Amino acid sequence: MNINNKIAFLGGGNMARSLISGLLKSGVEASQLHVSDPDEANRALLHADFAIATGSSNQVAITNADIVVFAVKPQVLKDVISELTIDANCTKLFISIAAGIPEPMIHKWLGFDAAIVRCMPNTPALVESGATALFANAQVNSQQHDTAESIMRAVGLTVWLERESDMDAVTALSGSGPAYFFLVMEAMEQSAIKMGLDAKIARILCLQTALGAAKLAIEVQQDPAELRKKVTSPGGTTEAAITEFQNGGMMELFSRGLFAAQQRAKSLADELGD
């Protein structure tokens, strides 16, 4: 990975840890990274695991950084930014992974025309299989654009959004999406157990089926609807189940679920903002 910049992480929780681990694995030097976090025990762990600089001061962390990653919870981001003293002429890139905080709000809290990339990663980033959507404001130059992408690619796939307003749909799809798949797995497992299958066997078959289905869809690059039709023989077992799902309104239910998540993402931004 071609990142030569110094990167400061404000907040050293789960997501920062995944990004740091991914960056180090992809060739970034430990000396390029600095994490600030209030929890001393957490800082000691981060230092022990990754041999990176850690500290309790966000201001110290950002001093020599070219890139500042806001990896704190959305509820504390405003305070974290407001407490920083930053030269308005600086060329730092600010990357926010805080869910639900729009770029104009970060811009306002920073108080100058900063280069900002807003990202929406998801939980599988913790195992380097994340899906992250990124949005860059007009101040982000092409080098910063590439660097932001490289940082998030350290934990999985990345896509750029042209309109920040699409971030709410992304939140509904990939941000919250892992939980929908967990729910489907939960439902399938419970049904198998009801049919008399041993719980351990149900779990392992269910998980491998989920992984295999996703891998197949990615590798053959076919429309999921086509893939489904291919494995659904007329009069067969799969068709019996799919017919039940469709008659039960599963497509409409998912549509309503994702719409509810999108609406909630919109309202969260209002609750978290000024």
**Residues making contact with ligand NAP (CB under 6 A):** 10-16, 36-39, 42, 58, 71-74, 76, 80, 97-99, 121-123, 175
Closest residue by beta carbon to ligand NAP: 13
- Rounded to a whole number of angstroms, the minimum distance from the CB of residue 139 to ligand NAP is 22
Nearest to ligand NAP of 63, 208 (CB atom): 63
Measured from the CB atom, the residue of 58 and 158 that comes closer to ligand NAP is 58
Closest CA to 8 of 34, 28, 32: 34
Cβ distance to ligand NAP smaller for residue 59 or 233: 59
Smallest separation, CB 227 to ligand NAP (Å) = 27
Q: Please give the Cα distance from 269 to 264 (Å, whole number).
A: 9
CB atoms within 10 A of CB 65: 22
Residue with smaller CB distance to ligand NAP, 173 or 202: 173
C-alpha 245, offset from chain centre: 29
Min dist CB 42 to ligand NAP, Å, is 5
Is 170 within 8 Å of 147 (Cβ atoms)? no
DSSP 121-149: --GGGGGT-EEEEEEE-TT--HHHHHHHH
Please say which residue, 6 or 43, places its beta carbon nearer to ligand NAP. Answer: 43
- State the minimum distance, in angstroms, from the CB of residue 225 to ligand NAP: 28
Q: Which amino acid type is present at position 173? A: L
Count the neighbouring beta carbons within 10 Å of the beta carbon of residue 189: 18
Closest separation in Å from C-beta 178 to ligand NAP: 8
Nearer to ligand NAP by C-beta: 68 or 206?
68
Minimal distance in Å, beta carbon 81 to ligand NAP? Answer: 10
Give the number of other Cβ atoms within 10 Å of residue 210's Cβ.
Answer: 15
**Per-residue tokens: 241:** 């189940």
Instruction: Check if the beta carbon of residue 101 is closer than 8 Å to that of residue 118.
Output: yes
- For residue 119, what is the enclosing H or E element? strand 115-120
